[in-house]
Structure 1
């Protein structure tokens, strides 16, 4: 008796499956659940990763911000709990002493609670005095047909010009063209030279004016709020730590505080923060795949077990087939094809269900944010899985299911007809 891969073998497999519906469904559920959980976990992980990538997309990852603090140690004749105030010399020191590693250096100084008005409309904003390099570091971009940002002439000539947010423009000017118009800020007239945009509301409550203008108009003398600069040649955590140590010594020498006093000056290094986030991202991705693969394996083991049970139950039948002349290949394919059918059908069901679940997540929580106003940030975004990855995962499952059926099938091939006919 010789069985080929024709219609008869498919009918026989379907007949066997129908005779063991509950067992087949339970095994198939394990397969579907495995691929479903893998896709859902990948989608969830992608949602966190995409949010992280969006948050850091427009930031200069090689940038550092320096904030003044309060001393916690007595040093060089000064008592502890002394407030450190940065000044213009700190910017010059940053540019000149660290010119091998510093590309662009600047600073900011702010005047909060400024009422900006135009005709009968007004808004309350923070006026931030900045350098022209500010958009190269922060996610601030000039809107299309929105003029320009602060330039070097504005700094050198202390011009009274202002760059406003596109939302501020909508409130003050409505449908008018804002470029070239003058706004009033507490009795000071500023000409609008640019309109900027950002992602969400991060900077919506700020307007930008030349750094030098802010210091003079608002009597800031030569004080600054923070120092901001971009770096080069600092490609490792160790290199950044060494730079930070030297930088603390330089600024500490200028303001006479202990360089080891971490509270006197705070350093926000985006590169080291980015490396930490990348490490967390890699750990998350690995964890998702490990959990997903083990979930898949549970389904594959289920298929292997049911094939072993099938072989045991059909031992006598297999012996009769071999006695009648059935080839080992025909018996091998009989078991393997049953395994392939179960993993393919239920794997496809799991894949479709998983993609459907991630699409639902995308609709329901596809742009999850935390906080409000300037502190608003995206923490979950686009939790979907590429269809190619879903298909490859399903194909992998089918291949694994085929292998799961191969070993029970090989056991069936090795059964001797005499021993099979004696089996109960």
Structure 2
């Protein structure tokens, strides 16, 4: 293995047969290139799912009312379910030991005006704890607080892009603007990792909105976060328990799937990651198949190489070369070609992935990349595959009798 003369002989052989070497190496380069790009794009798909769910805290549960589609306890089917403040209070009472933050949410599309500027935005009426569930980042001023809820104040925390659209270069904090012709004061400006869509929202106190809209206590949905210590299985149990409690309160049949909707961010993320993992496994085997196709290609070329050097190998054996020496020489040459061209394939593959960047976001692929562990794995596979590819022709060459080899033309 560490015989300097053998290494010099291998490189001299490669140098004398450039075309043959290039043909042998090209299949390996192409195989590892396709493997790297496909596996990297699979990682890019998983990155997209992580990015999609990073807008909200991962221990968040969203609860929506639906329609009771089955008759139950004297109530008719297709009955619309409506949440009220008492539903939020009930969940806080029942599950206070497992939840951290709770908030109601009422969403309305509203015309917003400041001086001569106006636009249509989504106004979310919420409780102060909504800030932690939505991972809202306060840039200036503050978020809605408990005093706003208690006193039904007409204040608003606006998104960064709302400020840019309506206020231009002005600092919006402390300014007054109108929501459906009702005057509110801006108390804060926020940004959000969710991007432009989230930063065009406006937050107001839920109590103020309920007072303005016919003095009602109705709410559109309930959001809450649970203690991370309960884990994913605990989150699933909590989701089931919440659904059961609310179904009992609103007289919904236990088998009715449409009366109450409970969505857990971590469960949705797990489901999507499972899908991504399945796709990545498929991509992995396709890439691995391409890699092995390249290895088969180099094996076929090594068969040709051994055939071409039959006379040379016969002379070596006639001079006393052992079969193991012949096999080792051919395997070493195969391994060198495989490693050099395989490494070239890895470099090209990484260059292609880096060039993609985030250009494929429209195809749900974000920052495609290959981890260091995958590169090491691919390298080991390359070396082992190269040895396997060269072993069969090497063993055949070692079995050739010197007298037969010397007669070869």
TM-score normalised by the chain length of structure 2: 0.88
Count of matched residue pairs: 405
- In structure 2, the CA distance between the partners of 1:386 and 1:9, relative to structure 1 (3 Å rule), is closer
- Using the alignment, how far apart are the partners of 1:228 and 1:319 within structure 2? 80
Q: By how many angstroms is 1:196 displaced?
A: 1.1
User: Please, which of 365, 384, 389 is the counterpart of residue 404 of structure 1?
Assistant: 389
Match of 1:224 in 2: 219
**2:172 is aligned with 1:186:** no
Deviations 1:9-65 (A, max 9, x none): 5323432x24xx3x5544333212211111110221122111111112242222111
**2:24 is aligned with 1:39:** no
**2:183 is aligned with 1:150:** no
- Aligned partner of residue 37 in structure 1, secondary structure: helix
Instruction: Tell me which moved more, 44-53 or 240-249.
Output: 240-249
- Aligned partner of residue 221 in structure 1, secondary structure: coil
Query: Is residue 141–residue 197 contact of structure 1 (8 Å, CA) maintained in 2?
Result: yes
**2:116 is aligned with 1:131:** no
**2:398 is aligned with 1:413:** yes
User: Please, which of 115, 122, 126 is the counterpart of residue 118 of structure 2?
Assistant: 122
Match of 1:94 in 2: 91
Match of 1:111 in 2: 108
- Aligned partner of residue 362 in structure 2, secondary structure: strand
Deviations 1:131-178 (A, max 9, x none): 1111221243222xx121111222122222110011111122211221
- Using the alignment, how far apart are the partners of 1:6 and 1:99 within structure 2? 72
- Using the alignment, how far apart are the partners of 2:287 and 2:149 within structure 1? 56
- Using the alignment, how far apart are the partners of 1:3 and 1:329 within structure 2? 18
- Using the alignment, how far apart are the partners of 2:82 and 2:22 within structure 1? 72
- Using the alignment, how far apart are the partners of 1:3 and 1:251 within structure 2? 79
- In structure 2, the CA distance between the partners of 1:314 and 1:226, relative to structure 1 (3 Å rule), is same
- Aligned partner of residue 235 in structure 1, secondary structure: helix
- In structure 2, the CA distance between the partners of 1:329 and 1:423, relative to structure 1 (3 Å rule), is same
- In structure 2, the CA distance between the partners of 1:81 and 1:395, relative to structure 1 (3 Å rule), is closer
User: Please, which of 259, 269, 289 is the counterpart of residue 264 of structure 2?
Assistant: 269
Q: By how many angstroms is 1:308 displaced?
A: 2.8
Unaligned runs of 5+ in 1: 370-378
Match of 2:26 in 1: 29
User: Please, which of 289, 299, 305 is the counterpart of residue 294 of structure 1?
Assistant: 289
User: Please, which of 195, 205, 211 is the counterpart of residue 200 of structure 1?
Assistant: 195
Query: Is residue 3–residue 9 contact of structure 1 (8 Å, CA) maintained in 2?
Result: no
Query: Is residue 3–residue 326 contact of structure 1 (8 Å, CA) maintained in 2?
Result: no
- In structure 2, the CA distance between the partners of 1:34 and 1:195, relative to structure 1 (3 Å rule), is same
User: Please, which of 65, 69, 74 is the counterpart of residue 66 of structure 2?
Assistant: 69
User: Please, which of 327, 339, 342 is the counterpart of residue 334 of structure 2?
Assistant: 339
Instruction: Tell me which moved more, 48-57 or 305-314.
Output: 305-314
Match of 2:316 in 1: 321
Match of 1:374 in 2: none
Query: Is residue 243–residue 261 contact of structure 2 (8 Å, CA) maintained in 1?
Result: no
- Using the alignment, how far apart are the partners of 1:27 and 1:381 within structure 2? 34
- Aligned partner of residue 189 in structure 1, secondary structure: strand
Unaligned runs of 5+ in 2: none
Q: By how many angstroms is 1:68 displaced?
A: 1.1
- In structure 2, the CA distance between the partners of 1:296 and 1:68, relative to structure 1 (3 Å rule), is same
- Aligned partner of residue 256 in structure 1, secondary structure: coil
Query: Is residue 94–residue 102 contact of structure 1 (8 Å, CA) maintained in 2?
Result: no
User: Please, which of 164, 167, 171 is the counterpart of residue 170 of structure 1?
Assistant: 164
- Using the alignment, how far apart are the partners of 2:371 and 2:249 within structure 1? 54
- Using the alignment, how far apart are the partners of 1:247 and 1:27 within structure 2? 63
TM-score normalised by the chain length of structure 1: 0.85
User: Please, which of 233, 237, 241 is the counterpart of residue 246 of structure 1?
Assistant: 241
- Using the alignment, how far apart are the partners of 2:256 and 2:10 within structure 1? 80
Match of 1:279 in 2: 274
Instruction: Tell me which moved more, 386-395 or 127-136.
Output: 386-395
- In structure 2, the CA distance between the partners of 1:246 and 1:390, relative to structure 1 (3 Å rule), is closer
**2:8 is aligned with 1:12:** no
- In structure 2, the CA distance between the partners of 1:222 and 1:320, relative to structure 1 (3 Å rule), is same
Instruction: Tell me which moved more, 203-212 or 413-422.
Output: 413-422
Deviations 1:41-98 (A, max 9, x none): 0221122111111112242222111111112111222211211111011001000012
